[in-house]
A and B are shown apart, each in its own frame.
Chain A
Amino acid sequence: MAVITITKLTKQFGGLIAIENLDIEVKEQSIHSVIGPNGAGKTTLFNCMTGFYRPEIGDIRLDDHSLVGLLPDQIVRHGIARTYQNIRLFPDLTAMENILVGMHSHLRSGYFGIVLGLPTTRKEEQKANEEALRLLKFVNLAGKGDLLAKNLPYGNQRRLEIARALATRPKVLCLDEPAAGMNPKESQDLMDFIRHLRDVLGITILLIEHQMRVVMGISEKVTVLDYGKKIAEGTPTEVQCDPRVIEAYLGRGSATQPCAA
């Protein structure tokens, strides 16, 4: 069952076609990767999906609901959350507050409830705090909740960003190069963590990644983009053997490497 269906998606910037006639189906509870060389349109795809860009042609559907033309805040309420290639936390808020901001759309307390300190508001805050603490623990940041986000080390910031995205209670989590700048050990941990996320929370994960080891290690399906077009799709092994992928993405020299299949 596809949770996300993208049909005939096209996005242009002036004369430049960033994405052209793209069709992607993302299966529910799968780990689906989108790869491609620099400038292939991967991040543009994320931006279209999360409402930052409005595509010219085509449709993006979450379950049966079209997302084209919606604002980012409406889309996140439908259940797509994302992280950013170059981490974009709220630097001067604490880790806890970052997560609590993620819960924004699930909290109901209104203006007067807040000012008057109504019991429902208090209870809700209390529960939100507890859930934020759980999420902190879930991403291994317990005890660091009161640190400002900008003071956390790089790896922690990555995980905090994921926690913040999870706080929106997404059906689909879009991770934009989560392993960027990590060493092999760290990216191995990250792979385990992503798999754990999916298994425990049952959400769908859409992944943009540069590190081939990460992509091949955890993806169930891989879509390869080049110049905004889909050039291949399939299981990691299938994609690895596709000559077009090898030429476009891995480079000509890689064609000589023995294929796993």
Chain B
Amino acid sequence: MLQRIRERLNPTDIVMWSIGGILLIMICWGSVATLVKGVYSTHHWIDFIIFGLAQGSVYALIAMGYTMVYGVLRMINFAHSEVFMSGPYTAYYFAAYFYRSGLLESHPVISMVLVFIISMATSTLIAYLLELIAYRPLRGAPRLVPLITAIGASFFLQYVFKGLYGSGFQAYPVVKALEGHLMVGPIRILKFQILVIVAAAILMVALYQFTQRTRLGKALRSVSEDKEASALMGIDVDRMISMTFMIGGAAAGAAGVLYAIMFKQVHFFMGFIPGIKAFTAAVLGGIGNIPGAMLGGIFLGLVESVGPSLFLDGLGIVAPYQLKDAIAFSLLVLVLIFRPTGILGERLAVKKA
């Protein structure tokens, strides 16, 4: 009898659940303590939430690329963060040119649209080349091989762009029309935050409709369900995989410009942290699941902007905002441990035996 109990009680599960329990208690305690102390006013919280929404929608757009690629190839495209970086960094030179020539002032909409298009085109091109050169020859290789290649590609691209454009921070030109704030009822929102949220929302809806409605979108989904069967149905699988990378790249390129508008600068290393966070968002929503990635991104953005003040302040931690990345990474690790299928559940089951 004792042996039976020993065999069925799993020590790792016990450890895991106690870690989870302790964390949960700490979060609750911290939140309650913060709210009781009342350091932050309602205005503060609303600002946190709007900032979180804006940041979250950028994460959601990047997460799109991770989730779609994972859907078709079952690999983490580690270099996606560099796809994200390449677009706005290249577009920066055009934005700076528009600024100098006065176009940005006189025709802000046209010039911003141009910047978006250039950024998306660059990211799309990089994503396409990445798949063609680095990943295509590795179809069917053991699981670790494409992942290591992706890590290599990520650093390669980072330093190629560093070599091309230099290693300094480049300040993105400020668009006059996006400065200041708007009042929506009693709530004050910065104008550029509105742009970021609205633009991201439009792109995400468009992307989702594209995969659901169009012929090409359906072909993409069928490839992610079953490559062999799709090939038998006359779908060019290689082309579809390329297409997946390119769509993910375009979304990342757009996200990049939004990111640059929010943080007002570009840098060759700018992709790394948002990349990991977007991956977290994709896992949060259930990797391979497009609406999940959107939800996951927004959720992560909110947790990251509200979390440090809410959870940590009450615990008496100094300068909690320094730990905002740590909160995002902890969330990643926790989700991977406790619910690797994500909020909405991933569409992929692990095949065994």
Report if A and B associate in a common complex: yes
Across-interface contacts of A232 in B (CB, < 8 A):
none
Contacts of B4 in A (CB 8 A): 66
User: How many Å lie between the Cα of A47 and that of B352 in the bound state?
Assistant: 9
Across the interface, do B8 and A69 meet the contact criterion of CB distance under 8 Å? yes
Secondary structure of the B side of the interface?
helix
Tell me which residues across on chain A come within 8 A of B8, comparing CB atoms. Answer: 69-70
The answer on a CB contact under 8 Å between A52 and B353 is yes
Q: How many residues of A contact B (CB 8 A)?
A: 10
Contact A70 B7 (CB under 8 A): yes
Interface majority SS (helix, strand, loop, mixed), chain A: loop
User: Is the beta-carbon distance between B7 and A47 smaller than 8 angstroms?
Assistant: no
A74–B7 CB distance below 8 A: yes
**Measured CA separation A40–B339 after assembly (Å):** 32
Q: How far is A59 from B261 in the complex, measured between Cα atoms in Å?
A: 62
**When each residue 12-54 of chain A gets 1 if its CB lies under 8 Å from chain B and 0 otherwise, what string results?**
0000000000000000000000000000000100010010110
A72 to B: closest C-beta gap in Å: 9
Chain B: which residue is nearest A47 at the CB level?
B353
Q: How far is the CA of A69 from the CA of B220 in the complex (A)?
A: 39
Q: Is A52 within 8 A of B352, CB to CB?
A: yes
Q: Smallest distance from the beta carbon of B252 to chain A beta carbons, Å?
A: 34
Q: Which residues of B contact A50 (CB under 8 A)?
A: 353
Could you tell me the distance between the alpha carbons of A74 and B4 in the complex, rounded to whole angstroms?
Answer: 11
CA of A53 to CA of B4 in the docked complex: distance in angstroms?
A: 19
Interface core residue of B4, B7, B8 (most chain A CB under 10 Å): B7
Most A C-beta atoms less than 10 A away, residue of B7, B352, B353: B353
Residues of B with C-beta under 8 A to A69: 8
A84 to B352, CA, bound (A): 12
User: For window 307-352 of chain B, which residues contact chain A by CB distance below 8 Å?
Assistant: 352
Task: Mark A residues whose CB is within 8 Å of B.
Answer: 43, 47, 50, 52-53, 66, 69-70, 74, 84
Taking A47-B352, A52-B352 as given, write out 8 further A-B residue pairs in contact, using a Cβ cutoff of 8 Å, ordered by the A residue number. Answer: A43-B353, A47-B353, A50-B353, A52-B353, A53-B353, A66-B4, A69-B8, A70-B7
Q: What are 13 pairs between A and B in contact, CB < 8 Å?
A: A43-B353, A47-B352, A47-B353, A50-B353, A52-B352, A52-B353, A53-B353, A66-B4, A69-B8, A70-B7, A70-B8, A74-B7, A84-B353
